[in-house]
């Protein structure tokens, strides 16, 4: 059993029609190949960067699971047969799932902090600039 992070892009039309059924097919498919699901997350219907199998929008399902190595290949193959699944990406994690979730939470905290400090710096610069040109501010 190895830890994996999987993202599955599903058909938004079928998902809005019956979200439970779609999510159940995905979960069942994972469990059929010996997966133990740790976390199951849904990203709301969003615009795709480009068309995938004729769809301009899609619903992403983010799953963290443990699976024996042999299961991954057969899982990938079978996702091609299931119609609701438009695309799939399974990545082997280099740490166990709780550590990974912790690390990614820390990552997003840092990114948010950075964004806020950037915004503050930019706004500060604007205030300095207000009313008089930058060279004048320096001279006084």
Given the rule CB under 8 A, which residues bind other proteins? 7, 9, 48-50, 52, 58, 60, 62, 87, 89, 91, 103-104, 106-108, 110-111, 114-115
Q: How far is the CB of 75 from other proteins (least distance, A)?
A: 17
User: Do the beta carbons of residue 92 and residue 48 sit within 8 Å?
Assistant: no
Task: Output 27 or 55, the one with its CB closest to other proteins.
Answer: 55
Task: Output 58 or 71, the one with its CB closest to other proteins.
Answer: 58
Q: How far is the CB of 43 from other proteins (least distance, A)?
A: 9
Give exposure, 1-35, as e/b (b: 16+ Cβ within 10 Å): eebbbbebbbbbeebeeeeeebbebbbebbeebbb
Task: Output 20 or 94, the one with its CB closest to other proteins.
Answer: 94
Using a 10 angstrom Cβ sphere, with 0-12 exposed, 13-18 middle and 19 or more buried, the burial of residue 90 is buried
Q: How far is the CB of 103 from other proteins (least distance, A)?
A: 6
Task: Output 70 or 96, the one with its CB closest to other proteins.
Answer: 96
Q: How far is the CB of 58 from other proteins (least distance, A)?
A: 7
């Amino acid at each position: 059993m190895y830890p994996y992070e999987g993202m599955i892009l599903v058909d938004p039309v079928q998902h809005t029609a019956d979200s439970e059924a779609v999510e159940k097919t995905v979960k069942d498919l994972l469990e059929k190949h010996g997966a133990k699901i740790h976390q199951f997350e849904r990203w709301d219907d969003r615009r795709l960067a480009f068309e995938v199998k004729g769809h301009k929008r899609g619903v992403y399902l983010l799953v963290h699971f443990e699976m024996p190595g042999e299961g991954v290949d057969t899982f990938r193959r079978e996702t091609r047969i299931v119609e609701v699944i438009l695309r799939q990406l399974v990545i082997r994690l280099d740490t166990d799932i709780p550590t990974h979730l912790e690390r990614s939470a820390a990552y997003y905290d840092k990114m948010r902090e950075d964004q806020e400090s950037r915004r503050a710096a930019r706004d500060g610069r604007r205030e300095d600039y207000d009313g008089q040109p930058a060279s004048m501010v320096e001279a006084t």
